[in-house]
Structure 1
């Protein structure tokens, strides 16, 4: 098996998950951080979301991470997010998220979710610019949410559906790769051994 590699990038708030700016806004693009034109994004992240973005020039790696489970020999590639929401989640709201909620484009797959204190998040938070909007009399809380699909703006829509508007969204892990201690705007290249490739469903 040929050697494969990918890049783990801590995408800042306001950066688009693409190299060309084909919109009429002021968002920065990935071209400000990478010059390798062979790189492709394996799983987009909204400009207003932060955290782990994976890039690779290997089509097999891209397919293993971004395609539905059937394309990966039945292996589900989970994506875990740290979600700051408005309000404190009730047990009923958490159960709704776990079982799946019905959105305009269909019901979401069962997810994993737990509510945590900010101090128990797996990373030390960095200041966001601009800061989140806060209402003085409304508390906020954090969820750790893992999903197994990629509907458009899915996490934001899921939490809003159960009455927990999303204030801040940080992707922590994708397909077993974690953000770790990467600073905002930093990246690291990972070389995949044969065992890791097999775990991703890459067999040729």
Structure 2
């Protein structure tokens, strides 16, 4: 059994119905674009070593940490910056001071495996002459920023990390996190990136 048809009658009613239909299609198009843009946005999955190490070297010790790409995509034009944050407690105040830490190699073209970033603790370094007790008293924190170009999505990725003063291991060095099989292929062990050994 039929109930008849309901349709707009007259020019004003047709204009309103057309406007409602257009708004409905625009809403669905906007929602689809927002959802696609949200879930298709690339994100960097860069793994940082749990600790930084200070390795004795001549003529100056070196502060190091390691990163590795957890995905199989190619990252290029990698750039890293490191900054030291110290809290000044003089005059019963808590003022944060920021110091740039120069890296030996701050840029690499390709990022196929792990990357060990090194800061030399020389006379120009804000860490020069500081003891672990002094870094603890000043609540030292090291901020890391890494930027790179994702070849898969053709977009620039950013990621950041930080190390507290108690995450710095003195007189240590990282162990190798990869090996070569019988065919000459390099096998990277992501869980080995955190391993270090004490240097006597």
Give the TM-score normalised by the residue count of structure 1. 0.28
Q: Which has the higher strand share?
A: 2
What is the TM-score with the length of structure 2 in the denominator? 0.28
Tell me which of the two structures has the higher relative contact order, counting C-alpha pairs closer than 8 angstroms and 6 or more residues apart: 1
Larger-Rg structure: 2
